[in-house]
Every structure is written in structure tokens, then in C-alpha cells.
């Protein structure tokens, strides 16, 4: 398996634009997690899904953020409109149940 | 999650054993201890986990004290590529335990 695949690896956009980050989990995994990492706040859990259903989205910063998992092999994290303070590295991870997590390489987002 | 306490940073000479401590005095009887690491500019990587007994795999060994209030991750022969931030995590044994809450971790520097 190629592991957790995230795209794009880098995204540079202007304030106010819509940003969509994509994640393909490892085949067979039924839990998917979105994290955000900044120097100030470290790694923060944004939301996680179990069997494609959002279980806990308490970490989503505000209504500008939304995440979907339409099927077991794909998830998106959308920011609309984007702001400079959203600049961070966004990681997607997957696991089978409570098993240990496999992380993707991340998407580095810069909002100008 | 049970609270964990780790030193902020540690140094280790290449080829020597790196021993990374973690305190988790509020751990419950059925909660596991997980270790992850994050090499610069990469996603976190699972290392090892354990409940009561000591564990060893190809990457590291995990020593858990008999009272389970602390543990030590051992990298037996540290290399320069082991320079990373190491996270000790005790996920709650509940629905929220599907996710991992990363703290500050220990920044390990392996020197030539």
C-alpha cells in the first residue's frame, strides 16, 4: 500500500479564496483524522471520522472549516473563505479502529 | 486522555542508547501507552505501544514500570536520522480515544 496520500503537498492562496485539501486513507482502514500543525499550537486534532461518519468535530476552528468523507477511500477538508491565520501544515491520518495511526506527508498551506 | 509529562529536549551521541522518559501517573488500568515521533517536515510516525509488559520491535523498546505511572522509550543505537520530536501519548479508553492528542513531546538531537 502507498500509505496515506494527501494532495496537494503545497498550496499557496490569497485571503478569501476557497481551499480544498484531499486525503486518501489506507485501504481497509475505517477511521480517518485531520490534524493541523503550527509552531504556536503544535499538532491539533480538527475532526475524525469512523466508518465515514464524523464522530468528533470539536476541534474545527470555526464555520469556515468543513470536512467530508463521501466514501471509505476519500476525504476532503475545505476552508472557505481562507485567512492568513489558517496557514499551517494539515495532516491526514488513518487507522483501523483504535489501532495505531498512519499519517500522510501533509499539505503545507500558505494564505497570503 | 491521561496527562503525560516529557522533558522538553534531550541530546544523545550517535551510536549510544537514547532513553526517553515519560510520566503518566493518572493512567487507568486498561489504557495503553503509545509513542510516535515526527522527523522535521514529515508526518508523525508510529513507533511502539504497550499496556503492562515491556515491548520491543525493530525500531525501539518500551519499558513500562510495574505501577504503570511512567515509561521509557529506548532507541538502542541512535543514529542521526533519529533526530526528531518524540511524543508519549495515553489515549482515553473511550470514544475520544480513537484520536490522539499530541502534547509538546521531547525534541531529541542525535549528535555525531
pLDDT for residue A75 is more than 70: yes
- Sign (positive or negative) of CA dihedral B108, B8, B89, B62: positive
Q: What pLDDT digit, counting tens, does each position of A11-29 carry?
A: 999 999 999 999 999 999 9
| Cβ-based contacts of B96 with chain A (< 8 Å) | 56
For A48, which of B42, B99, B104 is closest by C-beta distance? B99
pLDDT at B44: 96
DSSP B32-43: -EEEEEE-TTS-
**Confidence at residue B112, expressed as pLDDT on a 0 to 100 scale:** 95
Q: What pLDDT is attached to residue B54? A: 93
Residues paired with B15 in a beta bridge: none
Determine how β-strand B106-111 pairs with β-strand A102-103: unpaired
| pLDDT mean over B12-16 | 97
The minimum CA-CA distance between B45 and chain A, rounded to whole Å, is 7
**Count of CB atoms within 10 A of residue A33's CB?**
27
Which of A45, A102, A104 is facing B99, going by the closest CB pair?
A: A45
Residue A61 confidence (pLDDT) above 70: yes
Are A98 and B91 an interchain contact pair (Cβ–Cβ within 8 Å)?
yes
B97: chain A residues, CB-CB within 8 Å: 98
pLDDT in tens, A99-112: 889 999 999 999 99
Could you tell me if B69 lies within 8 Å of chain A, comparing CB atoms? no
Flag whether pLDDT at B96 surpasses 60. no
Q: Does B102 touch chain A (CB under 8 A)?
A: yes
Query: Cell match 496527562: residue?
Result: B3
Rounded Cα distance, A21 and A42, in Å: 19
CB B53 within 8 A of CB B63: no
Q: Report chain B residues whose CB lies below 8 A from the CB of A107.
A: none
B43/A97 CB distance under 8 A:
no
Distance from CA of A112 to the nearest CA of B (A): 21
Instruction: Write down the pLDDT at residue B27.
Output: 87
Given a cut of 80, whether residue A52 has pLDDT beyond it is yes
Contact A103 B98 (CB under 8 A): no
Task: Name which residue leads in pLDDT, B66 or B100.
Answer: B66
Q: Decide if A10 contacts A108 (C-beta within 8 A).
A: yes
Whole-number Cα distances in Å, A41 to A44, A55, A76, A112, B55: 7, 23, 22, 20, 31
Calculate mean pLDDT across residues A81-110: 94
What is the rounded distance in angstroms from the CA atom of residue A37 to the CA atom of residue B34? 19
CA R_g for chain A:
13
Residue with cell 514500570: B65
At A56, the pLDDT band (50, 70, 90 cuts) reads: confident
Amino acid at each position: 500500500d502507498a500509505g496515506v496520500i494527501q494532495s496537494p503537498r503545497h498550496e499557496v492562496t490569497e485571503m478569501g479564496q476557497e481551499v480544498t485539501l484531499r486525503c486518501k486513507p489506507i485501504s481497509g482502514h475505517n477511521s480517518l483524522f485531520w490534524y493541523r500543525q503550527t509552531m504556536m499550537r503544535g499538532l491539533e486534532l480538527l475532526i475524525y471520522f469512523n466508518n465515514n461518519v464524523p464522530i468528533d468535530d470539536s476541534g474545527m476552528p470555526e464555520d469556515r472549516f468543513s470536512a467530508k468523507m463521501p466514501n471509505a477511500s476519500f476525504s476532503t477538508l475545505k476552508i472557505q473563505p481562507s485567512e492568513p491565520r489558517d496557514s499551517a501544515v494539515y495532516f491526514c491520518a488513518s487507522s483501523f479502529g483504535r489501532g495505531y495511526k498512519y499519517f500522510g506527508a501533509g499539505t503545507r498551506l500558505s494564505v497570503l | 486522555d491521561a496527562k503525560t509529562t516529557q522533558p522538553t529536549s534531550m541530546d544523545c551521541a550517535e551510536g549510544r542508547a537514547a532513553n526517553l522518559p515519560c510520566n503518566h501517573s493518572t493512567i487507568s488500568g486498561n489504557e495503553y501507552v503509545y509513542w510516535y515521533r515526527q522527523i522535521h517536515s514529515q508526518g508523525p510516525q508510529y513507533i511502539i505501544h504497550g499496556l503492562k509488559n515491556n515491548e520491543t520491535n525493530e525500531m525501539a523498546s518500551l519499558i513500562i514500570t510495574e505501577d504503570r505511572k511512567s515509561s521509557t522509550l529506548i532507541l538502542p543505537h541512535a543514529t542521526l536520522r533519529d533526530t526528531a520530536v518524540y511524543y508519549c501519548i495515553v489515549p482515553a479508553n473511550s470514544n475520544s480515544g480513537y484520536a490522539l492528542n499530541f502534547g509538546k513531546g521531547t525534541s531529541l538531537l542525535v549528535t555525531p
